[in-house]
Amino acid sequence: MTPFDLPTPTHLQAAEGGAAPLDGLPEWDFSALYAGEDDPKLAKDLSWLDDETAKFKTDYEGQLGDKSATALAACVKRYENIQTVMGRIMSYAGLRYYQNTTDADRAKFMSDMQERITGQSANLVFFTLEMNRIADERFDLLLGEDQDLARYRPVLDRMRAMKPHQLSDELEAFLHDQGVVGASAWNRLFDETMAGLTFDVNGEELPLEATLNLLTDTDRQKREVATHALIAVFRENLPLFARITNTLAKEKEIEDRWRKLPTPQAGRHLANHVEPEVVEALRNAVVAAYPRLSHRYYALKAKWLGLDAMQVWDRNAPLPTAEDRIIGWDEAKDTVMDAYAGFDPRMSDLAAPFFTEGWIDAPVKPGKAPGAFAHPTVTTAHPFVMLNYLGKQRDVMTLAHELGHGVHQRLAAKQGELLSSTPLTLAETASVFGEMLTFKKLLEQTTDPAKRKALIASKVEDMINTVVRQIAFYDFECKLHDARRQGELTPDDINAIWMSVQAESLGPVFEFVDGYEVFWTYIPHFIHSPFYVYAYAFGDGLVNALYAVYEEGDADFQDKYFAMLEAGGSKHHKDLLAPFGLDASDPSFWDKGLSVIESLIDELEAMED
């Protein structure tokens, strides 16, 4: 995450809707960042950045190729310090904004900080360009001469991976400055529009998160009414969402073309430090497994619900045997913390401050961004977790998921600002592993056959949402960006692409109500982070394989696991997985992960006998 990026709501399966009587939910305490907009420390940091970025440019611009290894190491460390202060400021501004995206003062402050930081960071644009112009032979020689510089090799290698796609210094500076009125501005328009939408559900005006949550209600009529409420508002705003999508896709196509990136996905793969063929193997394995996974499971679910055909409002419906109760915050906390402690007390110790120190913002509030995320902020502070907690079982799993991110971010912080950030392909590892620990703990405690069936079914649905649904999202983006290269897409064009991947992934048991074709409009990843979504499927497959190693009884598993998380972004996925005997570049690797989901569906089918 660059210092002028906002945290993106990342958990697409966050509780989908209605308000619940949950009082006393925790909210963020920002004191680890700043005491307020008028905090003297903020003014001091901004002033320091003005001076330090100007000095950095004076000291190094046009000279990096001639510096000694020791001098280059000192330069990288100064760059890292600047990034830390910028990250602190933008984390504070962005997190406050996400608490209430409809608050004009917060939006203005965030925009002002973004413009200020973008202006200051213009002095740093040369750094990447000149580092990338150092010849490979000299680069290797320099890293061999200084241990401090060599420590930064992973992040420098990722930076230099863009070397073939680098533009002129002048163009790079222009793109940097233009960003605040380009993609960032369209992202803000999307966020503020979404946060301001309300949906008429039987005469009651609900925000997006609360309306989506009704799709998991036990009452089928409520689910249907909520679906039609969502359709009505999404349709009303369809031209705007189509304009945002068209503009961002075209902007990406222009930049990709100038950079000579071979595909729309290539930039994401480079940023993730993952080979395109690995992602393609994952995608192909999941698509080939649709009939064995989602098609088979949803046919089972239709039978349980007594339906000949499923409608879209039945996809996340609870089973008739599932408990329909509000899970209080303390119970949710205890459930997750017990699961974490059962794996290793170090894990629950790392998670504990989130609950006691104001590191979680849990309540659903007007203007608050939907979904959930864990934002690492900077390594000199601590992560912040955002939830929209409504007391559903899925919310408990979301808590387990985001706390996993938080634990990972705390462990990786010891790498320092530049090396702590984990590529997206591995960023979901600890979060999905945290969900798996919580699920296994609950399953261990559940002896009633009906409740056990409902719990396994819920886990299968979460895994399908994490793997099948995200790969369908990825295919949607691939098709959309390819089509946009041929010209402007009408709302109907985008709707048709959406429906093509939905029908393929969900299977023949589904009927699609008129209007479901506009459901692509509310997914934030398509706007904020194109092609992010395959990271969820990557993480789920990886965790399934990891968990199998854990269950086989590897005596050193916990130590290896913590070492993997502590590595942050300092190692490639091959090196991180090697101690576990795993290799994500092996095409059969993904089939192993998918077989875990398949075995759970087998268990559900066996319960029918």
| E strand or H helix at 80 | helix 69-99
384 by DSSP, 3-state: which?
strand
pLDDT tens digits, one per residue of 460-470: 998 999 899 99
**pLDDT confidence bin for 609, thresholds 50/70/90:** low
Find, among 383, 534, 381, the residue nearest to 466 by Cα.
Answer: 534
Say what the pLDDT of residue 370 is. 83
User: What is the number of H-type helices and E-type strands within the chain?
Assistant: 29, 5
**pLDDT confidence bin for 345, thresholds 50/70/90:** very high
**pLDDT confidence bin for 395, thresholds 50/70/90:** very high
pLDDT tens digits, one per residue of 526-540: 999 899 899 889 888
Question: What residues are paired with 47 via a beta bridge?
Answer: none
**pLDDT confidence bin for 514, thresholds 50/70/90:** very high
Paired tokens of 434: 């945290």
Burial (CB count <10 Å: 0-12, 13-18, 19+), residue 366: exposed
Say what the pLDDT of residue 271 is. 83
| C-beta separation of 197 from 207 below 8 A | yes
The more confidently predicted of residues 55 and 218 is: 55
Tell me the C-alpha distance between 66 and 60, whole Å. 10
pLDDT above 80 for 12: no
pLDDT above 60 for 2: no
| C-beta separation of 402 from 430 below 8 A | no
Report which DSSP code applies to 510.
B
pLDDT above 60 for 3: no
pLDDT above 50 for 13: no
pLDDT tens digits, one per residue of 468-482: 999 999 999 999 999
Tell me the C-alpha distance between 379 and 49, whole Å. 18
Burial (CB count <10 Å: 0-12, 13-18, 19+), residue 277: exposed
Tell me the C-alpha distance between 462 and 471, whole Å. 14
**pLDDT confidence bin for 169, thresholds 50/70/90:** confident
Q: How many residues does the chain have?
A: 609
pLDDT above 80 for 16: no
| E strand or H helix at 445 | helix 429-445
Say what the pLDDT of residue 4 is. 40
Report which DSSP code applies to 162.
T
Tell me the C-alpha distance between 45 and 320, whole Å. 56
DSSP codes, 191-226? HHHHHH--EEETTEEE-HHHHHHGGG-S-HHHHHHH
Report which DSSP code applies to 589.
H
Across the range 431-442, mean pLDDT stands at 92
* Domain ranges (residues) in the chain: 32-181, 207-322+466-528, 329-464+542-570
| C-beta separation of 441 from 348 below 8 A | no
Topology of the domain comprising 32-181 = Butyryl-CoA Dehydrogenase, subunit A; domain 3 (1.20.140)
Q: Which residue has the tokens 């504990």?
A: 352
**pLDDT confidence bin for 6, thresholds 50/70/90:** very low
373 by DSSP, 3-state: which?
strand
Say what the pLDDT of residue 178 is. 75
Out of 170-174, 362-366, 516-520, 559-563, pick the least confident: 170-174
Across the range 34-53, mean pLDDT stands at 97
Topology of the domain comprising 207-322+466-528 = Neurolysin; domain 3 (1.10.1370)
pLDDT tens digits, one per residue of 92-124: 999 999 999 889 999 999 999 999 999 999 999
Rounded to 5 degrees, φ, ψ at 385 are -105, 130
Distance from the Cα of residue 9 to its chain's centroid: 7
pLDDT tens digits, one per residue of 568-594: 999 888 888 999 998 888 878 888 889
In this prediction, what percent of the chain has a pLDDT beyond 70?
96
Tell me the C-alpha distance between 532 and 536, whole Å. 8
In this prediction, what percent of the chain has a pLDDT beyond 90?
71
**pLDDT confidence bin for 174, thresholds 50/70/90:** confident
Across the range 222-241, mean pLDDT stands at 97
